[in-house]
Chains A and B, each alone.
Chain A
Amino acid sequence: MSVRARSAILSLLLLAVFLAAWHLATLPRAESGASVDPEYAKLMGLDKPKSDGMPTPAQLAGTAWKQLSDPFYDAGSNDKGIGIQLAYSLGRVGLGFGLAALVAIPLGFLIGLSPLAYGALNPFIQVLKPISPLAWMPLALYTIKDSTISSIFVIFICSIWPMLINTAHGVASVRRDWLNVAKTLEAGTVRTAFQVILPAAAPTILTGMRISMGIAWLVIVAAEMLVGNLGVGYFVWNEWNNLSLSNVIFAIGVIGVVGMLLDLAFGALQRAVTYVE
């Protein structure tokens, strides 16, 4: 048997062991309240089985099925399907990330091309870069005075640094030869920027974008839990209100899968612009 097949079997085995352990650990305990007053038991919800705490694998599967079979339901401004919630989160990430790219890539270009700009901006970048994105939230709320724009701003501010630094680095390390070729061909600034520097630095820039997207996706969930109205972070928070762990775990899974898909997408983009020297 090939190593691949064997490792696949081992993976499945590990999964089975994990599910079995989970199932056993979450089996409903038999209530010892035989002597409890029936009226009290009814008020406590003990008269019928109720999920308390950790769901069993089967309960989780049921929750997932229920959510996924109707992902776009709309039961009011605070209760929408997971698909709609994801769309809100992705929209915010897309906006914040897109704006960050619009700022970071040209600015990174400038910094990468000009040692002067690099010297002037570097101290600011070094100070601003390590700030935890969510630390911006109160300030953003206070100054921007709009929670949606504030979360977009937080995404913006957290995704700008990796893109800025990578763009600057990518641009600064474009091989002199290629620039010299462009110069001897009298290619204009714009043409050089778009047809030589950009493709040359593209793999590095995309690495930065990939890192940024990863961070943005982490941050949006936290930001929505803090302020969000709608979005996966809000979904987690809303189900947490109801102490509904199976919905929370389901949402965690969805967040993970979407994060992975975003990363794969950027990985594919990265591969598309990578060249072999």
Chain B
Amino acid sequence: MSLFRNPFDGETNLTCACGRHSTQAEHDVDAEKLSRQALENAVMRSLFPKDAERRRFIRSVGAGTASAAIASLFPFGALEAMAQDKGKVEKKDLKVGFIPITCATPLIMSAPLGFYEKQGLNVSLVKTAGWALIRDKTMNKEYDASHLLAPMPLAISLGVGSGAMPMQVATIQNSNGQAITLAMKHKDKRDPKQWKGFKFAVPFEFSMHNFLLRYYVAEHGLDPDKDIQIRVVPPPEMVANLRAGNLDGYLGPDPFNQRAVYDQVGFIHLLTKDLWDGHPCCSFGVRSEWVKEHPNTFAALYRAILNAAAMAANPANRSTIANAIAPANYLNQPVPVLEQVLTGKYADGLGNVKNVPNRIEFDPVPWNALGVWILSQMKRWGYLKGDVKYRDIVDQVYLMTDAKKRMKEEGILAPADMPKKIVVMGKSFDASKPDAYVNSFAIRRT
């Protein structure tokens, strides 16, 4: 593909992969630094929002213990591996599963753009038919790492909807990037109050899509369990079902929102960015056990994704990326559709050209308060029954127990883990009071 140049090909005289550096070498140094910084910052910030507290912690437990505590809290061994400065990867040939949607952009583009190769990895990306399947294949150890929906590691770790298995979220793939698409025939029904009896689709039960759609209609006074129908439909089948009239709309991942517009069967009612700007969607998950066994490999994989995310974060690169991930081997979608999704300059299906540069963003910040938000919605809609121990569950997935125990010993208050403020449809979320949050909603299943 001539449109696309390998950034690591010495023959081509590129500035660098992300475009922010004058040479590739400079970029590489920065990327290394970036990944280490991103890691350290994210972890430390989530643990100790206040600088004074962080210093007190390190002073009281000693640097070694602090590093061990962080290692137990953050993807095992990743820090040590990075500290050892690229230890030898334990496993070179990796199988990584993905669902063909734009959320997986960093994970996918790393193959054609050579980010994996650069880290000494030979990754074979395996396109997978649905979320349940990718979950099973990840749990069955067929895949070394996978593209998962952000709530899935929580659900899997809890054993909700599948067998329980400790999972780890390495990075968030993307934020925003989803939309509500409605069938053309509903172009005059823009007020959700007119949606009674509509049939909607979401890609999976434990998905931001499901929770956001429920949240949205409930805010407009519709009970998502009574006034509308919500079905699970694999993303690729959403457009066809919309065309066939089996669905009135869906809250789905791109490119299938834009694809519905492109094929003139639907229009984009709203972007999820308008519900919650900066909401995460998909994550890059690995089994905890796998990370333990392959710390260097994990670190290398992690660096590749961080590099890719850094490149994707620059809007100037989006067109190149669209061309790189469009072929049948990856998303198998028309380039114009992907370009509209990634650049944010898109046709809305109603005759308007919109320009929303942050339609999708790639911000690899590990999530934490989000876990609590997801659990609060799982509780709200009855997926979790009874008294939910938000902290314990999130701590388990985030492996925070060790660090907290030490902090208690030292008399340090448990940190609030909120790197970003969560505001959904104008309503703030306080991760320290999830039950109060749940109970503040009129429509709920508790």
Contact = CB atoms under 8 A, between A and B. Distances in A.
**A associates with B:** yes
Residue among A36, A43, A226, A239 facing the most chain B CB atoms (10 A cut-off): A43
Contacts of A243: 239-240, 259, 263
A79 B347 CA distance: 29
Interface string A191-227: 0000000000000000000000000000000000111
B386 to A, nearest CB: 27
A147 B126 CA distance: 12
A240 B129 contact: no
Which bucket holds chain A's interface residue count?
A: 20 to 34
Contacts of B328: 75, 78-79, 238, 242
B329 A37 contact: no
B31 to A, nearest CB: 25
A242 B338 CA distance: 12
Contacts of A119: none
Given A45-B262, A147-B137, A243-B239, A40 B351 contact: yes
B336 A43 contact: yes
Nearest to A43: B347
Interface string A77-103: 111000000000000000000000000
B12 interface: no
Contacts of A239: 332
Interface of A: 36-37, 39-40, 42-45, 52, 75-79, 141-142, 145-147, 225-229, 237-243
Contacts of A228: 129
B125 A78 contact: yes
Which bucket holds chain B's interface residue count?
A: 35 or more
B262 A40 contact: no
A242 B333 CA distance: 6
Given A43-B347, A146-B140, A238-B127, A78 B264 contact: no
A223 to B, nearest CB: 11
Interface in B365-390: none
Given A37-B353, A40-B353, A52-B264, A238 B332 contact: yes
12 contacts: A43-B347, A44-B347, A75-B328, A76-B125, A77-B124, A78-B126, A79-B327, A79-B332, A229-B126, A229-B127, A239-B332, A240-B237
Interface in B326-375: 327-334, 336, 340, 345-347, 351-353
Contact of A79 (B142, B329, B353): B329
Nearest to B332: A242
A217 to B, nearest CB: 20
B423 interface: no
Contacts of A76: 111, 125, 327, 329-330
A145 B140 contact: yes
Interface string B406-436: 0000000000000000000000000000000
B95 to A, nearest CB: 9
A39 B351 CA distance: 10
A238 B140 CA distance: 23
